[in-house]
């Protein structure tokens, strides 16, 4: 079944487009919010070429696997009315807006732009680490190349946001890029700080502001662009629309951006800075909490630059600043809460993103964590805000101060010891402990069912260091076929993990490991087993045999059953399966391959006997 057919059937079986209140997707599953869950035909959906169905946190989740993006795209193409979901409009035309909607929109926009941000954060963190250790000469060409490579995606962040926001708001991506180009134009950038504000139309001030690394200005601009573009295109005659719709749109949006929309973040930040200075003067401990807890929000919307003048003014007036230590602790709270999230998420790809984001965060680069983790997981966000606030408050009360600026990194702690080592170290201890525990506990309780891939205690896996090496034995006798030669690209490209296939003529499948049956597909063509060392093995008989709906299969095991190597699992009629037009090879895959150092096939060709050593899993 191709993705187009699968998309059509899924929508039909969840009750049709009219029953879909909203639709999003994560890395492995479609996430529906249905008007009436009772209309969904779960059993029939489970018989499609899907991994399964799960109802959690008010969402009807159809688990697809790695091809979920293609299925989602097919659904959106076949049912354009579902695009209304992305605008916060239901199918009755009623506009809906809430804090959760706004956060969800911001999260989806930032996540789409995440890959280069993660890469840039890792490059900056490793480069900084190498310079601090003396392994990299700051004056070298290599350092220069790494610097611009790691910084490019942050400096030109408005361009990345322009594309993802245009896709989210369903407007022209190239017009959005043009808006980013206007506020990032080199001539405008050169004038920042060197010229007095300009005047437009003889009376409107045009602030000269550095919009590099900002998010809010371009995000608001693209949102307005959508309505301006649609309004002009609606009444513009088709004959001249190609030329005059973009022309009039850009003529309207350019001054709107430069005079009104783009400076909004600057003015908000300016007043915020005044408020923080007042707090510092009146109640330093409260200022420490506010700075430590709000910095993630300031960075996300690009308003943290407004705090820098206060830091510089403090140093000029007093010879030190109390803001920088609180900023440092907020950074450590972000990294720690993100690290805590690693123990909560189940999806392997998300674990990789979370772990690399935490690593970058401890080295002072928090953007990957902010844009890819905090805006997505509420538990992480709350843990960061409370942990950073408590640490900032404690450190400020104990007199923490810095005599100079510097990247807030775990490697630069001495910079923040101006008030004595105890102040920053105690603050750091409070920050790390509270951020980690609050995130973890919230992820296990309050935010456990918010539609995020949060584990429960039964599903948590052992840390990699505690998983032992295992052997997966052949579940059948027959001819060995390399996984890359299997006709299903999901298996052939090893999207589900490393493994092997066997052309087994005798029609009996034995257990390749000792462990517990975790999944028995209702169509009887696939069995999931977790062995004693945490190795997750999927046995899949045939290609597209889910369509046979259990015909020609007989299962001899049940979910939750403890089995031993060599126990009979399934019998199947290979000849009848082939006559029905399907392949009958037995595919064995280690689905948690990424949790191990390596999964090595013992044979890639020739014959294999039942019970013969087939895969070695190295922890």
> Rounded to an integer, what distance in angstroms lies between the CA atom of residue 415 and that of residue 47?
60
Do 260 and 299 belong together in one domain?
no
* Catalytic residue chosen out of the listed positions 25, 304, 305, 540: 540
In a domain, 457, yes or no: no
- Label residue 575 by pLDDT band (50, 70, 90): confident
* Catalytic residue chosen out of the listed positions 25, 26, 305, 525: 26
> Rounded to an integer, what distance in angstroms lies between the CA atom of residue 395 and that of residue 513?
54
Instruction: Give one word for 568, left, alpha or beta, with left for phi > 0 and alpha for psi -120 to 50.
Output: beta
pLDDT exceeds cutoff 90 at 13: yes
Decide if 91 is catalytic. Answer: no
> Rounded to an integer, what distance in angstroms lies between the CA atom of residue 354 and that of residue 372?
8
pLDDT exceeds cutoff 70 at 598: yes
Crossing angle of helices 378-397 and 284-301, rounded to 10° = 140
In a domain, 453, yes or no: no
> Rounded to an integer, what distance in angstroms lies between the CA atom of residue 316 and that of residue 606?
77
In a domain, 219, yes or no: yes
**Tens-digit pLDDT profile for residues 306-344:** 566 566 556 556 667 788 888 899 999 999 999 999 998
> Rounded to an integer, what distance in angstroms lies between the CA atom of residue 188 and that of residue 208?
7
In a domain, 518, yes or no: yes
CA nearest to 329, candidates 373, 422, 379, 394: 394
Percentage of residues in the chain having pLDDT higher than 90: 22
Strand partners, 160: none
**Tens-digit pLDDT profile for residues 233-259:** 888 887 888 889 999 999 999 998 888
Do 364 and 498 belong together in one domain?
no
Do 605 and 537 belong together in one domain?
yes
Lowest mean pLDDT among 52-61, 78-87, 344-353, 545-554: 78-87
Rounded mean pLDDT, 342-368: 82
Give the torsion sign (CA, 279, 282, 283, 284): positive
Residue 20: both structure tokens together:
């879909």
Whether 310 and 333 have beta carbons less than 8 Å apart is answered as: no
3-state DSSP helix/strand/coil % of the chain, to nearest 5: 55, 15, 30
Strand partners, 516: 530, 562
| Residue-level pLDDT at 67 | 66
Parent domain of 580? 467-618
| Residue-level pLDDT at 459 | 40
pLDDT exceeds cutoff 60 at 426: yes
Could you tell me which residue, 275 or 131, shows the higher pLDDT?
A: 131
CATH number of the domain where residue 600 is located: 2.70.70.10
Max Cα separation, the chain?
88
Burial of 157 (0-12, 13-18, 19+ CB in 10 A): buried
Query: DSSP per residue over 305-336, as a string?
Result: GGGHHHHHHHHHHHSSBSHHHHHHHHHHHHHH
Do 248 and 211 belong together in one domain?
yes
| Residue-level pLDDT at 277 | 67
Whether 176 and 165 have beta carbons less than 8 Å apart is answered as: yes
Last residue of a domain, one of 210, 233, 264: 264
In a domain, 520, yes or no: yes
Do 15 and 127 belong together in one domain?
no
Q: Give the predicted TM-score (pTM) of the model.
A: 0.46
Query: DSSP per residue over 400-413, as a string?
Result: --BSS-----GGGG
pLDDT exceeds cutoff 70 at 468: no
Question: What SS3 class is residue 494?
Answer: coil
Decide if 26 is catalytic. Answer: yes
The contacts of residue 282 (CB under 8 Å, 6+ apart) are none
In a domain, 544, yes or no: yes
- Label residue 606 by pLDDT band (50, 70, 90): confident
Do 259 and 277 belong together in one domain?
no
In a domain, 410, yes or no: yes
| Residue-level pLDDT at 458 | 38
pLDDT exceeds cutoff 80 at 74: yes
**Tens-digit pLDDT profile for residues 75-90:** 888 887 665 444 443 4
Question: What SS3 class is residue 287?
Answer: helix
Do 601 and 486 belong together in one domain?
yes
Tally of residues, the chain: 619
Do 290 and 436 belong together in one domain?
yes
In a domain, 459, yes or no: no
Do 337 and 384 belong together in one domain?
yes
Please report which helix (H) or strand (E) contains residue 509, including its range: strand 508-510
Do 123 and 51 belong together in one domain?
no
- Label residue 402 by pLDDT band (50, 70, 90): confident
> Sheet holding 498-503: strands in order across?
562-563, 515-520, 526-531, 536-541, 586-590, 498-503, 478-481, 607-608
Structural domains of the chain, count: 4
Do 420 and 516 belong together in one domain?
no
Lowest mean pLDDT among 81-95, 163-177, 586-600: 81-95
Do 212 and 318 belong together in one domain?
no
């Amino acid at each position: 079944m191709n993705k187009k057919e699968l998309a059509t059937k899924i929508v039909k079986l969840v009750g049709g487009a009219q029953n879909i209140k909203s639709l999003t997707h994560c890395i492995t599953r479609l996430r529906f919010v249905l008007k009436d869950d009772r209309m969904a035909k779960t059993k029939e959906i489970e018989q499609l070429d899907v991994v399964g169905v799960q109802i959690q946190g008010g969402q009807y989740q159809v688990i697809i696997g790695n091809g979920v993006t293609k299925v989602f795209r097919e659904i959106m193409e076949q049912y354009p009315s579902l695009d209304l979901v992305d605008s916060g409009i239901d199918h009755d035309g009623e506009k809906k807006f809430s804090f959760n909607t706004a956060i969800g929109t911001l999260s989806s926009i930032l996540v789409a732009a995440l890959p280069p941000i993660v890469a840039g954060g890792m490059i900056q963190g490793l480069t900084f680490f190498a310079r601090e250790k003396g392994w990299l000469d700051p004056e070298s060409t290599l350092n220069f190349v790494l610097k611009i490579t790691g910084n490019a995606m942050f400096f030109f962040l408005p361009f990345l946001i322009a594309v993802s926001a245009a896709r989210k708001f369903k407007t022209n991506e190239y017009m959005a890029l043009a808006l980013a180009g206007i506020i990032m134009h080199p001539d405008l950038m050169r004038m920042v700080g060197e010229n007095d504000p300009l005047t437009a139309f003889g009376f409107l001030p045009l602030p000269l502001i550095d919009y590099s690394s900002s998010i809010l200005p371009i995000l608001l601009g693209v949102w307005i662009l959508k309505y301006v573009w649609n309004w002009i295109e609606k009444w513009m005659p088709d004959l001249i629309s190609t030329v005059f719709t973009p022309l009039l749109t850009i003529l309207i949006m350019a001054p709107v951006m430069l005079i009104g929309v783009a400076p909004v973040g600057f003015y908000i930040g300016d007043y915020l800075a005044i408020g923080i200075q007042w707090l510092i003067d009146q109640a330093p401990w409260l200022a420490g909490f506010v700075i430590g807890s709000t910095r993630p929000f300031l960075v996300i919307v690009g308003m943290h630059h407004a705090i820098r003048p206060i830091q510089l003014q403090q140093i000029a007036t007093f010879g030190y600043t109390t803001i920088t230590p609180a900023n440092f602790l907020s950074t450590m709270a972000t990294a720690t809460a993100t690290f805590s999230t690693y123990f909560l998420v189940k999806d392997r790809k998300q674990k990789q993103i979370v772990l690399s984001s935490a690593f970058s965060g401890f080295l002072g680069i928090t953007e990957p964590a902010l844009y890819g983790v905090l805006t997505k997981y509420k538990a992480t966000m709350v843990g960061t805000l409370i942990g950073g606030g408590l640490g900032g408050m404690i450190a400020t009360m104990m007199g923490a101060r810095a005599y100079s600026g510097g990247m807030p990194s775990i490697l630069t702690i001495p910079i923040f010891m101006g008030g004595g080592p105890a102040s920053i170290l105690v603050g750091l201890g409070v920050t790390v402990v509270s951020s980690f525990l609050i995130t973890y506990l919230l992820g296990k309780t309050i935010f456990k069912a918010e539609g995020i891939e949060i584990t429960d205690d039964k599903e948590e896996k052992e840390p990699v260091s505690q998983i032992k090496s295992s052997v997966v034995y052949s579940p059948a006798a027959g001819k060995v076929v390399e996984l890359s030669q299997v006709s299903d690209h999901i298996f052939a490209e090893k999207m589900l993990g490393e493994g092997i296939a066997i052309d087994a003529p005798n029609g009996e499948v034995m257990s390749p490991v000792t462990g517990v049956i975790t999944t028995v597909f209702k169509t009887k063509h696939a069995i999931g087993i977790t062995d004693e060392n945490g190795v997750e093995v999927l046995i899949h008989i045939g290609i597209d045999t889910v369509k046979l709906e259990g015909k020609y299969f007989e299962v001899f095991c049940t979910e939750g059953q403890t089995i031993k190597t060599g126990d009979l699992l399934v019998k199947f009629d290979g000849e009848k399966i082939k006559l029905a037009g399907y392949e009958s090879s037995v595919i064995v895959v280690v689905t948690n391959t990424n949790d191990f150092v390596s999964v090595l096939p013992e044979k890639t060709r020739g014959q294999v006997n039942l019970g013969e050593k087939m895969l070695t899993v190295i922890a």
